[in-house]
Amino acid sequence: MDYETIYRSMYQIRRVEEEIARIYPSDKIKSPVHLSIGQEAVSVGVCQALGLNDVVFGTYRGHALYLAKGGDLPAMIAELYGKVDGCARGKGGSMHLIDVEHGVMGMSAVVSTTIPEAVGYAYAMKVRKADTVVASFFGDGAVEEGAFHESMNFASLKKVPMLFICENNKYAIHASVETRQRLDNICERARSYGMVAEKIEKNDIIQITEQVGEAVAEIRAGKSGPRFFECMTYRWKEHVGPYDDFHMGYRTEEEAQAWIDDDQLIRVGEYLDEALQQQVHREVEAEIQAAFEFAENSKFPDTSELYEHVFKGS
């Protein structure tokens, strides 16, 4: 296992989001932000198992996925700033990141809406006999949507080459899983559609990397149809924004602290010597500084672009 690459990716995501949280109150960032701090292990672990030609579809909490798949960091920060050099030319903001060149096929602010898109893409890859695996990322709230169930059924029926990755952080905004779902049976729901489903506890980066890697290999070899993973994780910050939200009463500091104490970034760092860690830190910090400077210096889109890149039917 390439611990240096995993650590670098997780550290980059953590520090980028910490900088976003620091700068956000200044109003330089022009869109809402849903931070992935604490959840980095899922995106990094899955993307470690994917190849350059594989693609991912994500959610509005997508910074980690975008960066883990190799998305362009300066373009991401410029997008948050609403600048023309952003990955969506400043028109999409934090919730609509995209970098097709690196296999990031897009994200959406509406729950579950990229799941059927991912299934459609995977079906196209199967028809074309392409060596491409598609990964669809979504939260535990998405499994309550009709689009999720329709997509699961079609994907299993057609045996498309894809991964369903449920990032179960226990909350849909401020509503816990227990208040929304009668049974703790998300994997059972996936199995009911005839696909293999596995639950990975404790945000375990090593287990995610290994088990998803095995699944991807089987999909490529034609030994498996779609695979489902429920990855237990936890966001440290509020649903949307840079602050803590324990005062709202829907979760406790004690609950969060248990996950913080088991920080997977620190765990992976223990496999690297101090000198290598410091080298990674220096290189990543330089990248982050350059990315924010790039965003600061980029211009806002001209008003002439208002109606460009907009689909219009006949």
pLDDT on residue 311: 76
Whether the per-residue pLDDT at 313 is higher than 70: the answer is: no
Q: ∠ CA 225-231-237 to the nearest 5 degrees? A: 145
Handedness of CA 236, 242, 246, 251 (dihedral sign): negative
pLDDT on residue 214: 98
Q: Are 92 and 61 in contact (CB under 8 A)?
A: no
Q: What are phi and psi of 229, to 5 degrees?
A: -130, 125
Q: What is the pLDDT of residues 238-296, one digit of tens each?
A: 999 999 999 999 999 999 999 999 999 999 999 999 999 999 999 999 999 999 999 99
Q: Where would I find the beta strands (DSSP E) of the chain?
A: 55-59, 104-108, 134-139, 162-168, 171-172, 175-176, 196-200, 227-232
Report the alpha-carbon distance of residue 285 to residue 24 in Å, rounded. 18
Q: What is the pLDDT of residues 40-54, one digit of tens each?
A: 999 999 999 999 999
Whether the per-residue pLDDT at 312 is higher than 90: the answer is: no
Task: Count CB-CB contacts under 10 A for residue 33.
Answer: 22
pLDDT band at 314 (very low <50, low <70, confident <90, very high): low
Report the alpha-carbon distance of residue 204 to residue 233 in Å, rounded. 9
Mean pLDDT value across the chain: 97
pLDDT on residue 305: 87
For domain 3-293, give its CATH number from 3.90.1170.50, 3.40.720.10, 3.40.50.970, 3.40.228.10.
3.40.50.970
Q: Give the mean pLDDT of 122-126.
A: 98
pLDDT on residue 22: 98
Whether the per-residue pLDDT at 107 is higher than 90: the answer is: yes
pLDDT on residue 310: 81
User: Which residue type occupies 86?
Assistant: G
Q: Give the mean pLDDT of 120-146.
A: 97
279-287 own/partner pairs: CB under 8 Å, 24+ apart: 280/4, 280/7, 280/8, 280/11, 281/11, 283/8, 284/8, 284/11, 284/12, 284/15, 285/15, 287/12, 287/73
Sketch the domain layout of the chain as residue ranges.
3-293
Question: In sequence order, what are the residues at sequence separation of 6 or more whose Cβ sits closer than 8 angstroms to the Cβ of residue 224?
Answer: 196, 215, 218
Q: What is the pLDDT of residues 212-248, one digit of tens each?
A: 999 999 999 999 999 999 999 999 999 999 999 999 9
pLDDT band at 126 (very low <50, low <70, confident <90, very high): very high
HSE-CB for 133 with a 13 A CA cutoff: 27
Q: What is the pLDDT of residues 295-304, one digit of tens each?
A: 999 999 999 8
pLDDT on residue 307: 86
Report the alpha-carbon distance of residue 36 to residue 64 in Å, rounded. 6
pLDDT band at 309 (very low <50, low <70, confident <90, very high): confident
Q: Are 213 and 48 in contact (CB under 8 A)?
A: yes
